[in-house]
Structure 1
Amino acid sequence: MPHDHELRPGLPQGPEPRQGDRRGQEAAGRARGVSRLAAAALAAALCGLAAPAGAVAKPPAKPAAPAVQKPVVEAYTPLAKTDAAARAGDANAQTHLGDDYLLGQEGAAKDVVQARHWYELAAAQGQPDAAFVLGEIYWNGDGTAKDNAAAQRWWKVAYEHGRQDAAKLLGDEAFARAKGEGETWSLPALQEALDWYQKDAAIAGPAVQEKAVARVKQVQDLIDYARRQGG
């Protein structure tokens, strides 16, 4: 019976692998496994990127065009233009704006208070048309308390700056002051009315000449009457 340390025939025995050789083989095996995995991943990625057979590659999308800025159109109205000029101090524009508010035209809402405001600014600069209408506003009490003294003041401004037709209105104002209680008359006020009516008659056209002359005659008669009464 052979001893344990004796080699059995027919069973060749190779050299026993050393510890270091075994570790190297294991490392090499792992490296080959990693390489195979990396190769498989790369192949899969390439397959995913490849276009299918017969497909046409699309051109890259064009960048979006920049937004076009539309020009801003400034709103314009005759009223806005007049208002701007009036606020800048133009007396004629102030008069025009007063007309717009008084009559409710050019897009302006009818507003006598606004009209009076602009007329006063213009009349203060000697604008005769504004002063003329302003006198009428105070005489009639349109949008304000009736004020004959203010009416007289503005009509004088109008007359002094070229509105000679204000003479008739100034005559009316003086005539209204001349009438006292009962049959009494104020001679100074009657004389003032006569002076204005004579100025009006001197410039009156054919259509109103007869009435203008009749007013002068009426006041002259009243002056004579007041003198006889000791007025």
Structure 2
Amino acid sequence: MSGRGLAAHYFFPRQPCIFGDKMVSIQITLNNTTDRKIENIHIGGKKLPMGMQMHVFNPIESLEPEGSITVSMGIDFCDSTQTASFQLCTKDDCFNVNIQPPVGELLLPVAMSEKDFKKEQGMLTGMNETSTVIIAAPQNFTPSVILQKVVNVANVGVVPSGQDNIHRFAAKTVHSGSLMLITVELKEGSTAQLIINTERTVIGSVLLRELKPVLSQG
């Protein structure tokens, strides 16, 4: 957002949150684009969906002209992609800010063995499994390309695989710690199957929808 010379950019650093283990870590870079200092930058009113919580940054006394500062915040999104709305205020003004997390940022990587992955996957079948077929050129199905594409979308860990045609990734949701298991299984020619196993079926189906076009494109 940008208002009266104060510009704010937020991003997800993909680190465990220092403010609470159920919170997603967010960093906000504030820039003063004016030729006068901006005083008392702080978070004002918050409008959060039920259950959602937010840990705000300490007020910034002043930001010099052309100055920049990065601050950390934590938001407990309750494993949902609902929007956190709040006001970013200065001594003189308040601006409305909305942060809606991409589903892949509601996750933290999990390290696990192939054996454990298969065991957990075996318990997350039926309603807890969703899958789709992906069609793409074979050069887009190399291990490095698949890894890059999946990790770009979701904050997941790579699970070692004993089979060249199967790529596995594991994560847990930040709020509830529910497992999110992702499998990309290469088939004949230019097709692959994308499988997601999780108790968090809503997040799982959203993640499936987001990963499919990314894995399909050249």
Q: TM-score with structure 1 length normalisation?
A: 0.23
The one of the two structures with greater contact order (alpha-carbon pairs below 8 A, sep at least 6) is 2
